[in-house]
Amino acid sequence: MSTDPENFKNLKGVEENNIEGVYKYTIGNETDYNEAVKSLNKIKKVIPGAFIIAIKNGKKITVKDALLEIKSYKTQ
């Protein structure tokens, strides 16, 4: 599917990601969880089923693992 805004209720910045053989369409690339939640709340007004995912090296990881990794990185 094309990532044109018309295909995503006029949301801009949609990216197509092939994660482990499955196409995921994402908006945003936040490294701060609070910013991700703010973005999610705005997107959910247009796409109610939206949710946060974490991707590392092209593979989906749990949000919990991503948060632990960010916390570990910040304390180094």
pLDDT value of residue 76 = 66
- With a pLDDT cut of 70, the percent of the chain lying above it is 99
> What CA–CA distance (Å, rounded) separates 76 from 67?
15
> What CA–CA distance (Å, rounded) separates 35 from 67?
13
Band (70; pLDDT cuts 50, 70, 90) = confident
Q: For the chain, what are the domain ranges?
A: 5-74
Please give the mean pLDDT across all residues of the chain. Answer: 90
Band (6; pLDDT cuts 50, 70, 90) = confident
Band (44; pLDDT cuts 50, 70, 90) = very high
Residue 70: CB atoms within 10 A of its CB come to 14
